[in-house]
Amino acid sequence: MAAVLQVLPYVARAPFRPLLSGGPVVRQASGMALAEQAQQLFESTVGAMLPGPMLHRALSLDPGSGLLKVRDRSFQLRQNLHLVGFGKAVLGMAAAAEELLGQHLVQGVISVPKGIRAAMEHAGKQEMLLKPHSRVQVFEGAEDNLPDRDALRAALAIRQLAEGLTADDLLLVLISGGGSALLPAPIPPVTLEEKQTLTKLLAARGANIQELNTIRKALSQLKGGGLAQAAYPAQVVSLILSDVVGDPVEVIASGPTVASVHNVQDCLHILNRYGLRAALPRSVKTVLARADSDPHGPHTCGHVLNVIIGSNALALAEAQQRAEALGYRAVVLSAAIQGDVKSVAQFYGLLARVAGAHLTPPGTAASVEQEEQLHQLAAELQLPDLQLKEALETVVGAGGPICLLAGGEPTVQLQGSGKGGRNQELALRVGAELGRWPPGPVDVLFLSGGTDGQDGPTEAAGAWVVPELASQAAAEGLDVASFLSRSDSHTFFRCFRGGVHLLHTGLTGTNVMDAHLLLLRPR
């Protein structure tokens, strides 16, 4: 029997801290600037995905009976609850779990990024930290998001905890992005260095992420369902914060609680394709041969319940509710925005032009050619869940302010030695695109922000732009094209108007990729 997967729908809103006081509804002319509303929407998007709200939506504990409910399943707690976790957001998730579960939690082990406790303490985020005498042991490792000896020690401690469980026990597994590097446990005699060398060689020869994960899982004690197997016969509940487009549980942290669908032949096929089979270390050949001759075959994960408690789609659903409360007609375009940032920026720029024309009186309409070009751009981006037709239909019937929402993870081809991140790069490119089309009698704003609060090697989460950006920048002696040519978006936004267009949230303690907001309001 396969592991059960459930996606937790958005049920209750996260606590929301408004940026401004005043009336909440646009159509009542609250006077709130478009930029401030956009930042409120971004903040609510992030707020819904913070560990506390997420865990409280996922878990419900009856203190009297000790009955733990996870969606439609119930588990009896009687000093039998254990916890493990790995990922960039797991420290805060573990703190929330500890707060919720209290004395029912017997023990725990988590693997988190090096320096994260000090960073959270410095940021004043006490709610992201475990209690002083916590039963959860914390290992910090994977510096620069690369598996290392510290992360290996954490992984072995997690395996030891899992292997000591019985049929009476319940293992709560907390998983977030970055979990793969924080859970390295090669199958002996393969060493951590040998496994890293092989994956680097594959990557250098053009292997994609699916192929890399197939090899990683085959050589890992804990990935590809290995952790679930180690915990058997205990029941396993895995709470997953997704930072991967489409939320594939077998990909997030390399699927430690999801049985791998790949076999040794798949691995050999990949190694042959990239000319690496003959050069394999003896240890890797030994592990693959052993797996190929395993009489039990691939294991299953029927004792596992996998629940996605946070994702880009769930975050956008909260932003949609908040936008509607502010008086916007809101539509989620896609939670799977991918592709080159230049193409994505062109898409948003043209979308703003077409949508804006639909909101204005006849005579300012976008041409048929522009609308066809928009659909062509959308087709080239190959976004599986894009709701473009529905969004444009909503715009046509709106007669008032519109909020178009999307999320995902575009890619940036770095040029020059500038400083920036994909959100600031996207925002600056969209700003340049918006400047090419006179918006007519409609106010337009685009915002792009990383939900983890850190966009690339900068302290900003992202940025917001308006059609006047390029001309206003030129008046300050700043040439947008020049900054883009050297991937220097952060420097641009820091200089432009004293940095007012930058988003600053600090580390948020969560990560569900990026959020994009396009606001249009007829004057």
CATH number at residue 505: 3.40.1480.10
* pLDDT band, very low/low/confident/very high, at 294 (cuts 50, 70, 90): low
384 has pLDDT over 60? yes
Judge whether residue 104 has pLDDT over 90: yes
Are residue 327 and residue 367 in the same domain, yes or no? yes
- 10 pLDDT more than 50: no
What whole-number distance in Å separates Cα of residue 194 and Cα of residue 109?
A: 26
Residue 7 maps to a domain: no
Predicted TM-score of the model (pTM): 0.89
In-domain check, residue 123: yes
- The length of the chain in residues reads 523
User: Residue 135 has which token pair?
Assistant: 């039963």
Contact 350, 374 (CB under 8 A): yes
How much is the pLDDT for 57?
93
Give the containing element (helix H, strand E) for 492: helix 489-495
The string of pLDDT tens digits covering residues 313-347 is 999 999 999 999 999 999 999 999 999 999 999 99
SS3 label, residue 306: strand
**pLDDT-derived band at 362, boundaries 50, 70, 90:** low
Total tally of structural domains belonging to the chain: 2
Q: What band does 358 get if pLDDT is binned at 50, 70 and 90?
A: confident
What's residue 243's pLDDT? 92
448 DSSP β-pair partners: 463, 516
Domain boundary among 310, 331, 355: 310
What's at 486, amino acid-wise? R
CA distance 162 to 364: 64
Burial environment of residue 365 by CB neighbours within 10 A (0 to 12, 13 to 18, 19 or more): middle
Band (pLDDT 50/70/90 cuts) for residue 414 is confident
Check whether 22 has a pLDDT greater than 60: no
Is 169 found in the same domain as 94?
yes
Q: b/e map of 274-311 (b: 16 or more CB within 10 Å)? A: eebbeebbebbeebbeebeeeeeeeeebebbbbbbbbb
Is residue 33 domain-shared with residue 85, that is, in the same domain? Answer: no
Q: Are residues 273 and 358 in the same domain?
A: no
Strand partners, 139: 111
Average pLDDT, the chain: 90
Q: Is residue 365 located within the same domain as residue 305?
A: no
In terms of domains, do 217 and 296 share one?
yes
Nearest to 439 by CA among 450, 430, 427, 428: 430
Which whole number is the average pLDDT over 379-394?
93
Asked if pLDDT for residue 20 goes beyond 90, the answer is no
Is residue 105 pLDDT above 80, yes or no? Answer: yes
Residue 420 · residue 349 · CB < 8 Å: no
pLDDT of 368 reads: 82
Q: Do 367 and 297 share a structural domain?
A: no
pLDDT attached to residue 255: 94
Residue 5 — pLDDT band, cuts 50, 70, 90? low
Between 52-56, 229-233, 357-361, 447-451, the lowest mean confidence (pLDDT) is in 357-361
Structure-derived torsion over alpha carbons of residues 8, 13, 17, 23, reported in degrees to the nearest 10 = 140
| Domain range for 504 | 29-49+313-522
Residues 271 and 414 in one domain: no
